[in-house]
C-alpha cells in the first residue's frame, strides 16, 4: 500500500490530516540495516504511528495539541499514521515506512526477536493497565469458560498472550487453531462488540475503551481485571518504539519526540477531563464515531499514564508468550535504550528510570 500519510500541523488541525494504513507486506530482510552511530544526516520529517485507543492517549494528545510538532520545531514535519494492530506498526517500522510507533509489549518483543535484536529499541513508556477479560452473564469462574469462545484483538498480540497465559494458569488448554478447552478467535475490537452482543462469542480479553464498552453496551461483566495479575497493578500496555537506524542517525529528533511525550503525559495527568475530551475528539476524527463521555471516563479510570516503560513486566510478557507456544525463547537484553529519556528527565529534575 503506497499511499503517503499526510503531514500533521500543531493543534487540532493535525487531526484532520491523520491517515490510516493497512498492513504493509514486506520481507524482514529489508528492515535490519542500521547506520553507524553518530552518522551525520539530516531529516525534515518524522513519521509517528499509534492507535485510535484510549490506551494511546499520550500519543493522541501530543498530536492533537501540537506538543510533538512544537517540540520538533520549524523545518521538521510530523507525519502521523494510525494502525489497527501492533503487527502492522512493526511491519511499517521494518520496511522503513515509519520512524517511531506507540505499541504494546508483545509486538515489540516479536519484532525484536524476528530482527535478531537489530531493528528496534524501546525508548520510553506511555501507558499501564487498561485490559480486562469481559464475560457474558453466567460465566463467573474460569471453569465456566470450558467450551466457550473468547475473542482477542489478534493472534499473538498483547491481550491474546495475556488470555492464553491466564487460561493456562487455570489449567485450561488452548491452541493456535481455536481448539482446546477454550476456543480463542482473533477479531478486530469493533467486531468483538457486535459478536459479543449477538452471542457469537462468550467473552473477550480486550483493551480500553473496548473492555468498558463490552460492559456498558454489551451487558458483560469483568471476570479478570489484568491489573490484579501484576505486582502493584503495574504492567506495560503501550510504550514508544523507534527504528534503531533512526535513533542512531537522528537522536535529536528522538529527543524532541520524547520531550513532547513527557509534556503530553504531564498534561493528561494534570487535567484528565480535558485530555479525555481531546482523545474522544480524535477517536471521532479517525473512526467516524465519538464515544459517550461516561465511557471514556470509565475506561480512563483503569489506566495509568507514565513514561516509565515498566521494564520488569516485559520479560514476564515474553515468558508468557513462550509458555503458550507463540514465541521461541528470546534474550531481551538490549531492547531498551532509555538514555535519551533519562537525559530529558534529568533536565526536568526528575529521577531516571531503569530497564
Nearest to 59 by CA among 318, 301, 51, 172: 51
- Return the closest-CA partner of residue 163 out of 149, 218, 295: 149
Span 145-163, pLDDT tens digits: 999 999 999 898 889 999 9
pLDDT at 157 (0 to 100): 86
The mean predicted confidence, pLDDT, of the chain is 88
State the SS3 of 316-353.
HHHHHHHHCCCCCCCCCCCCECCHHHHHHHHHCCCCCC
pLDDT band with cut points at 50, 70 and 90 for residue 133: very high
**Using one digit for the tens of pLDDT, what is the confidence trace for 301-320?**
999 999 999 998 999 999 99
CB 9 within 8 A of CB 42: no
* Average pLDDT rounded to a whole number, residues 20-41: 36
| Short-list 160, 195, 166, CA closest to 178 | 160
User: pLDDT value at position 43?
Assistant: 77
| pLDDT bucket at 42, cuts 50 / 70 / 90 | low
CB 285 within 8 A of CB 248: no
Question: Which DSSP state fits 31?
Answer: T
Instruction: Work out the pLDDT band at 10, boundaries 50, 70, 90.
Output: very low
- Residues contacting 201, CB < 8 A, separation 6+: 149, 150, 151, 185, 192, 195
Which pTM does this prediction carry?
0.83
Measured CA to CA, the distance from residue 46 to residue 98 in angstroms comes to: 8
Residue ranges of domains in the chain, CATH in brackets = 7-130+234-347 (3.40.190.10), 131-232 (3.40.190.10)
Q: In whole angstroms, what is the distance from residue 249 CA to residue 268 CA?
A: 30
DSSP 226-243: GGGGSGGG--EEEEEEEE
Confidence (pLDDT) at 227: 95
Amino acid at each position: 500500500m503506497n499511499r503517503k500519510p499526510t503531514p500533521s500541523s500543531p493543534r487540532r488541525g493535525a487531526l484532520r490530516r491523520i491517515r490510516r494504513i493497512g498492513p504493509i507486506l514486506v520481507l524482514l530482510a529489508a528492515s535490519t540495516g542500521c547506520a553507524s552511530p553518530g552518522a551525520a544526516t539530516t531529516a525534515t520529517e518524522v513519521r509517528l504511528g499509534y492507535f485510535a485507543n484510549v490506551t494511546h492517549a499520550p500519543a493522541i494528545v501530543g498530536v492533537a495539541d501540537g506538543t510533538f510538532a512544537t517540540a520538533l520545531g520549524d523545518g521538521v514535519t510530523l507525519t502521523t499514521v494510525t494502525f489497527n494492530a501492533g503487527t502492522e506498526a512493526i511491519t511499517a517500522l521494518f520496511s522503513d515506512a515509519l520512524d517511531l510507533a506507540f505499541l504494546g509489549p508483545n509486538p515489540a518483543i516479536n519484532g525484536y526477536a524476528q530482527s535478531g535484536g537489530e531493528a528496534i529499541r524501546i525508548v520510553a513508556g506511555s501507558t499501564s493497565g487498561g485490559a480486562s477479560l469481559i464475560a457474558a452473564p453466567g460465566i463467573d469462574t474460569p471453569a465456566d469458560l470450558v467450551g466457550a469462545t473468547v475473542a482477542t484483538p489478534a493472534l499473538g498480540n498483547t491481550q491474546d498472550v495475556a488470555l492464553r497465559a491466564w487460561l493456562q494458569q487455570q489449567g485450561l488448554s488452548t491452541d493456535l487453531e481455536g481448539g482446546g478447552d477454550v476456543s480463542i478467535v482473533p477479531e478486530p475490537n469493533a467486531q468483538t462488540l457486535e459478536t459479543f452482543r449477538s452471542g457469537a462469542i462468550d467473552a473477550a480479553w480486550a483493551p480500553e475503551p473496548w473492555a468498558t464498552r463490552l460492559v456498558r453496551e454489551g451487558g458483560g461483566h469483568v471476570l479478570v481485571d489484568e491489573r490484579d495479575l501484576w505486582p502493584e497493578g503495574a504492567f506495560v500496555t503501550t510504550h514508544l518504539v523507534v527504528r534503531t537506524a533512526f535513533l542512531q542517525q537522528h537522536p535529536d529528533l528522538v529527543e524532541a519526540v520524547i520531550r513532547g511525550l513527557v509534556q503530553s503525559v504531564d498534561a493528561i495527568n494534570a487535567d484528565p477531563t480535558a485530555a479525555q475530551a481531546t482523545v474522544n475528539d480524535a477517536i471521532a476524527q479517525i473512526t467516524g464515531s465519538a464515544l459517550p463521555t461516561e465511557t471514556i471516563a470509565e475506561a480512563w479510570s483503569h489506566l495509568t499514564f507514565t513514561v516509565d516503560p515498566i521494564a520488569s513486566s516485559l520479560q514476564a510478557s515474553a515468558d508468557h508468550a513462550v509458555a503458550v507456544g507463540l514465541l521461541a525463547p528470546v534474550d531481551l537484553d538490549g531492547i531498551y535504550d532509555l538514555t535519551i529519556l533519562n537525559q530529558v528527565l534529568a533536565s526536568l529534575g526528575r529521577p531516571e528510570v531503569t530497564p
